[in-house]
């Protein structure tokens, strides 16, 4: 939920998300859930019941980053979890309907990345932000690699440092495999501990897991790496079912 990269390939894409959170916050590994009649695969936050990344079996991804453009002053309480807003986004046929209809009153600022690759094609990629007062929606170029960092943890200067690291990595790895992309998320790059890709902040705040959805032609695989417990989970997503390997 705090660092996300998107890398298109000639046959699909790699979409990878690192979760920087308190280690004491319990999480369940990805599995298939039914939400409002839709079949979604996602890891679950045991406290709020939501998630930071999910994929539908029909080929849509929704991914959450905390905050919008800049860090905000946190209120004592909010109406509902941002992770539940993510799950709600799948109820809309496209990001524009979601933008128009979703009620975010008393919801903490957020960023949602909404990727549609239904029918085996890269159809659209949109970035939705809620800054606490206004909604913002913009289209993302499908053919360009991208990196996002959460505004609540990383200011604009740190975000630029991370973007520079990502661009340097891309320049060195024109031919890559998913393990190499995971390695970019799962190691230190010489930044301060609280700023690095594999981060360690105050208390028990750290990078807990890495989720990756790899779409290659007509096959989609959800890879999940639990860093704390040194466990990996791999789920093959089909149109009507999933396979755990």
pLDDT digits (tens, 9 = 90+) for 102-114: 999 999 999 999 9
**Length in residues, the chain:** 245
What per-residue confidence (pLDDT) applies to 179? 63
pLDDT (average), residues 59-74: 95
Q: 20: Cβ–Cβ under 8 A, 6 or more apart, which residues?
A: 1, 2, 3, 150, 153, 199, 201, 205, 206, 207, 208
pLDDT (average), residues 154-180: 88
Most confident of the ranges 26-30, 72-76, 109-113: 109-113
What per-residue confidence (pLDDT) applies to 10? 87
| 8 Å CB contact between 55 and 239 | no
Question: Tell me: the pLDDT tens digits for 188-237?
Answer: 999 999 999 999 999 899 999 999 999 998 789 999 999 999 999 999 98
Full set of structural domains in the chain with CATH: 3-244 (3.60.60.10)
Average pLDDT score, the chain? 92
244 has pLDDT over 80: no
What per-residue confidence (pLDDT) applies to 140? 97
What per-residue confidence (pLDDT) applies to 147? 98
pTM for this prediction: 0.95
Question: Tell me: the pLDDT tens digits for 145-161?
Answer: 999 999 999 999 999 99
Beta bridge partners of residue 136, listed in sequence order: 129
Rounded-to-integer distance, Cα 4 and Cα 175, Å: 20
177 has pLDDT over 80: no
């Amino acid at each position: 939920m705090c660092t996300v990269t998107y890398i298109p390939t000639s046959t699909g894409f790699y979409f990878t998300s690192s979760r920087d959170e308190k280690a004491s916050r319990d999480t369940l590994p990805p599995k298939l859930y039914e939400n409002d009649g839709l079949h979604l695969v996602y890891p679950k936050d045991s406290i709020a019941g939501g998630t930071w990344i999910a994929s539908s079996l029909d080929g849509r991804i929704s991914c959450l980053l905390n905050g919008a453009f800049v860090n905000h002053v946190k209120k004592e309480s909010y109406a509902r979890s941002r992770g539940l807003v993510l799950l709600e986004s799948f109820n809309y046929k496209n990001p524009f309907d979601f933008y128009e209809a979703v009620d975010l009153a008393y919801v903490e600022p957020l960023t949602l990345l909404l990727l549609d690759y239904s029918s085996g094609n890269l159809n659209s990629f949109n970035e939705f932000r809620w800054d606490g007062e206004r909604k913002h929606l913009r289209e993302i170029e499908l053919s360009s690699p991208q990196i996002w960092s959460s505004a609540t943890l990383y200011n604009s200067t740190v975000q630029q440092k991370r973007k520079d690291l990502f661009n340097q990595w891309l320049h060195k790895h024109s031919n890559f495999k998913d393990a190499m992309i995971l390695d970019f998320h799962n190691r230190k790059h010489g930044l301060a501990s609280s700023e690095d890709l594999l981060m360690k902040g105050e208390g028990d705040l750290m990078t807990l897991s890495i989720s990756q959805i790899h779409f290659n032609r007509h096959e989609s695989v959800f890879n999940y790496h639990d860093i704390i417990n040194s466990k990996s989970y791999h789920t093959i997503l089909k149109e009507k079912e999933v396979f755990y390997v």
